[in-house]
Structure formats: structure tokens, C-alpha cells
């Protein structure tokens, strides 16, 4: 099964189109500049409002898709709403949640543009990687990262794969390795539980430490 991974590119779009970052949470107005009098706002141009509306719409669609996927997963079914910002919006804004949909040429008519699974990942610094390993060892799930942690370095971690079946999760992992390129990749132990073990063997996976949950985390270098 082949998938197409969609990037949100929300941060890139906002930057390239000169959309103020805080405008993503506003309603067509930016915050007053320091030299503006109170109550005086810088109104966005109609073109900027249109671009902002497009970015918001795509972000909202992506959030809805991810929330639905999380809600049907036992691992996240009871996640508090207050965690959505930390666990969904922040990584989405940084292109660290990949949405897998069937490739158009291989999808059945009713499967086109249908979300099949998601991959939650991060590229972190050595310091943040240590934080991830500490949380795994302590049995903390899901992994908690500060907004800046998601893209703090070049150490690639796949933190979870969410799909309706083990076969689908395995296909998501197989396609994800092509999505991110041939890079050394570390897998959270939960990934080893939801995919076919044979794919981990083909990837050269090996355990590192034993977390409090009793599940071995998996370290996987990309195929060379």
C-alpha cells in the first residue's frame, strides 16, 4: 500500500507570504505596533486576509483530521482537550505531523483524500533527545515537548504511528522512511507495538533501554 504524505507547511507559508505570525490567531488585524496609539491597529490588505484565510482553513482541516484519528485510538481517547495545543497544533505548525492518504493512482474512488494514518515525529537536539529518552524510561506517554523542541536539531525521532490496523500502520512506517529520506531514525517503543515486527528487522531495528512500561524502545537507522 502506497501513501502520499501531506505537509502542512503552515509556518513556511506564513513566512513566505509575509503573514504576521500572531495574525493566525486573530481576525484580520495584527497587534498594534509599539509606536501606535492604543486602539489603533494595522489592518491587513484584502490579499493578505485571503491568504490568511487559506492558511487557517488548511490548518483547521488538518487539526480536525488529526483529532479524529486520535479520538479513535485507545492511546489518545482520553487525552484532555487542553493538550491539543501541545500535542496537535504545535507539531502541525512545524510540519511534524505527517498525514498519510492513498496515492491517487492506487486509491479506490471512495478512498481518495481519505486519511489513512498519521506519523508524529520530531527533529531534535541532543538535549531534547535526552529529554525524550528520560520520558521513555519513566513510561511517560505521549512524549511531552516544548514548542521549540519539535524542530530543535537534526536527530530524527518517530514518536508514534496512528492507523486503524497493524497492516496500515506498517504501511505508514514503510512510506514514512521514504518521506523523510535516508536518515538515521529513532523509533519510540510504541511504534514497535503497532507495526509488523518484520519491518523493524528489515530496517535493522534494535532496542536501547527498557522503559518503566516494560516495552523496549527501538532505534532504527535508515536503510543504506
String of DSSP letters for 65-100: HHHHHHHTSTTTTT--GGGHIIIIIHHHHTT-EEEE
Average pLDDT in the chain: 77
Biggest distance spanned by C-alpha atoms of the chain: 64
Q: Is the pLDDT assigned to residue 89 strictly greater than 80?
A: yes
Q: In percent, how much of the chain has pLDDT > 90? A: 46
What residues have CB less than 8 Å from 154, skipping those under 6 apart? 123
CATH number corresponding to 3-30+40-220: 3.40.630.30
Q: Is the pLDDT assigned to residue 45 strictly greater than 70?
A: yes
Which is higher by pLDDT, 181 or 24? Answer: 181
Q: Is the pLDDT assigned to residue 3 strictly greater than 60?
A: no
Confidence of residue 113 (pLDDT cuts 50, 70, 90): low
Q: Is the pLDDT assigned to residue 139 strictly greater than 90?
A: yes
Kindly report which listed range (110-124, 136-150, 169-183, 209-223) carries the lowest average pLDDT score. Answer: 209-223
String of DSSP letters for 112-147: TT---EEEEEEEE-HHHHHHHHHHHHTT-SSPP--G
pLDDT value for 1: 54
pLDDT value for 59: 84
Measured CA to CA, the distance from residue 8 to residue 128 in angstroms comes to 23
User: Could you read off the pLDDT of 6-18 as tens digits, one per residue?
Assistant: 555 555 554 444 4
User: Could you read off the pLDDT of 157-180 as tens digits, one per residue?
Assistant: 999 999 999 999 999 998 998 888
pLDDT value for 207: 44
b/e map 192-201, b = 16+ CB within 10 Å? bbbbeeebbe
The pLDDT of 41-55, averaged and rounded, is: 78
pLDDT value for 6: 58
pLDDT value for 214: 42
Which is higher by pLDDT, 46 or 86? Answer: 86
Q: In percent, how much of the chain has pLDDT > 70? A: 67
Amino acid at each position: 500500500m502506497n501513501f502520499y504524505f501531506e505537509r502542512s507547511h503552515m509556518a513556511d507559508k506564513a513566512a513566505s507570504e509575509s503573514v504576521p505570525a500572531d495574525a493566525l490567531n486573530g481576525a484580520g488585524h495584527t497587534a498594534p505596533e509599539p509606536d501606535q496609539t492604543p486602539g489603533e491597529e494595522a489592518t491587513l490588505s484584502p490579499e493578505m486576509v485571503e491568504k490568511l484565510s487559506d492558511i487557517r482553513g488548511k490548518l483547521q482541516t488538518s487539526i480536525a483530521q488529526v483529532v479524529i484519528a486520535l479520538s479513535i485510538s485507545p492511546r489518545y481517547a482520553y487525552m484532555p482537550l487542553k493538550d491539543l495545543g501541545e500535542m496537535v497544533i504545535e507539531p502541525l505548525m512545524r510540519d511534524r505531523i505527517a498525514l498519510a492518504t492513498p496515492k491517487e493512482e492506487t486509491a479506490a474512488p471512495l478512498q481518495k483524500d481519505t486519511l489513512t494514518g498519521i506519523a508524529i515525529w520530531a527533529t531534535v537536539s541532543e538535549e531534547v533527545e535526552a529529554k525524550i529518552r528520560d520520558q521513555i524510561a519513566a513510561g511517560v506517554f505521549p512524549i511531552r515537548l516544548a514548542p521549540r523542541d519539535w524542530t530543535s536539531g537534526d536527530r530524527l525521532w518517530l514518536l508514534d504511528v496512528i492507523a486503524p490496523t497493524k497492516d496500515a500502520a506498517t504501511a505508514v512506517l514503510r512510506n514514512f522512511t521514504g518521506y523523510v529520506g535516508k536518515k538515521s531514525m529513532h523509533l519510540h517503543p510504541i511504534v514497535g507495538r503497532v507495526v509488523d515486527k518484520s519491518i523493524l528487522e528489515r530496517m535493522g531495528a534494535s532496542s536501547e533501554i527498557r522503559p518503566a512500561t516494560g516495552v523496549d524502545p527501538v532505534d532504527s537507522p535508515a536503510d543504506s
